[in-house]
A and B are shown apart, each in its own frame.
Chain A
């Protein structure tokens, strides 16, 4: 049956309307979880708050389990879903830059906009920096392009590269997530409480 738009169950014109509605819901939940606070976001690096790890890991695991159950019941065809291509080295370098920016600025791109929405000045400053970064990257793209496009592994997933059944990968990732949650709770109990 699904995905709904590629299979014509929902006209393609609804694409952006649905995207906006999902975006609003996403923003609302992020703000409600407290992700518009840079102190909460960077807490994961200092060990006093693991909400980021827990929220994102939980959402990934819930989404993947849900999707595979829907695939099993023929509600969604997993093979029709878009898989982002993997640019290995570009992704590693980009991840490091993103991590440094995240830690230094206290936001990631989505949460910074959440912070702007509730009128936080640090969020606004971060967003301006984000725009400058985007501008510099776009202008120097012709220089960066050879590196950006090297090491393109295509639309690979763990199932392709490891050759294991996706169900086992999901189980392993779920167990890893649960261990990470328990570990983060343990770390949190050892670290001095920070109130903000």
Chain B
């Protein structure tokens, strides 16, 4: 074996060793690199786009219509506290307060694409917070009841009678709301005239004056 061949062989071997060392160092680098938690969820641009869009709002009238028609795809989620939920909520609503939004047990309610999840609170505030969290996590089909329960009260439970100068649609809407209110069991109480127990008139017995026997005489 010539000397130049031998030195060439050593050089090639050295080259392989360097390449092997680089490969090892790169792999080691992956292990040693400081880990950072990648933000889960959708792209920030899409998030902002979704947040600016008003498509997430659903009006009380639409919701009432869907509930009356027993739409099976509606899933109502009350984002208020448990006490408030116990006091009053919409029919068949599930209580998931905003602070429990990351509770994994409740995830199946939110992270799905079967139901239209309608979030609501007293106004838009908590529902919007919940929606933002859900949207960031990439949940689909999240909606917000526009105006929340306050709006629900002022439109469905206690709708205002339209002015006489208002168009016909306003009166139709009013009658729809009134009927919806009755469906949710509010109007009925009004329509039924309470039967007041008929109070028996107290019979004041006035003792008849006994006719006096004529006394005396002139």
A98, CB-defined interface residue at 8 Å: no
Residues of A within 8 A of B20 (CB): 178, 181
B213, CB-defined interface residue at 8 Å: no
- Selected contact of A61 from candidates B23, B28, B31, B33, CB within 8 Å: B23
Contact B23 A178 (CB under 8 A): yes
A177→B23 CA distance, assembly (Å): 10
* Minimum distance in angstroms from A193 CB to a CB of chain B: 13
A168→B30 CA distance, assembly (Å): 8
A178→B26 CA distance, assembly (Å): 13
Main secondary structure of the interface of B (DSSP, over half): helix
Contact B31 A167 (CB under 8 A): yes
Closest to A68 in B: B30
Contact B33 A65 (CB under 8 A): no
Count residues of chain B with CB under 8 A from any CB of chain A: 11
* Minimum distance in angstroms from A142 CB to a CB of chain B: 34
Within 8 A of B (CB), among A45-81: 58, 61-62, 65, 68-69, 72
Contact B30 A175 (CB under 8 A): no
B24, CB-defined interface residue at 8 Å: yes
A130→B23 CA distance, assembly (Å): 36
Count residues of chain A with CB under 8 A from any CB of chain B: 18
Residues of B within 8 A of A68 (CB): 30
**Binary contact readout B3-36 vs A (1 if CB under 8 angstroms, 0 otherwise):** 0000000000000100010011011111101000
- Selected contact of B30 from candidates A170, A177, A181, CB within 8 Å: A170
Given A72-B33, A171-B31, A65 and B24 contact (CB-CB distance below 8 Å): no
Residues of B within 8 A of A175 (CB): 24, 27
Residues of B within 8 A of A61 (CB): 23, 27
Contact B23 A72 (CB under 8 A): no
A173→B31 CA distance, assembly (Å): 13
Contact B24 A72 (CB under 8 A): no
* Minimum distance in angstroms from B42 CB to a CB of chain A: 12
A86, CB-defined interface residue at 8 Å: no
* Minimum distance in angstroms from A162 CB to a CB of chain B: 15
Residues of A within 8 A of B23 (CB): 58, 61-62, 65, 174, 177-178
A175→B21 CA distance, assembly (Å): 10
Residues of A within 8 A of B28 (CB): 171
* Minimum distance in angstroms from A64 CB to a CB of chain B: 9
Residues of B within 8 A of A62 (CB): 23
From B16, B20, B26, B28, residue with most partner A Cβ within 10 Å: B26
**Binary contact readout B60-73 vs A (1 if CB under 8 angstroms, 0 otherwise):** 00000000000000
**Binary contact readout A157-181 vs B (1 if CB under 8 angstroms, 0 otherwise):** 0000000010110110111011001
* Minimum distance in angstroms from A105 CB to a CB of chain B: 30
* Minimum distance in angstroms from A49 CB to a CB of chain B: 16
A34→B35 CA distance, assembly (Å): 41
Query: Can you offer 22 A-B residue contacts whose CB atoms are under 8 A?
Result: A58-B23, A65-B27, A65-B30, A68-B30, A69-B26, A69-B29, A69-B30, A72-B30, A72-B33, A165-B31, A167-B30, A167-B31, A168-B31, A170-B30, A171-B27, A171-B31, A173-B27, A174-B23, A174-B27, A177-B23, A178-B20, A181-B16
A-to-B contact residues, CB < 8 Å: 58, 61-62, 65, 68-69, 72, 165, 167-168, 170-171, 173-175, 177-178, 181
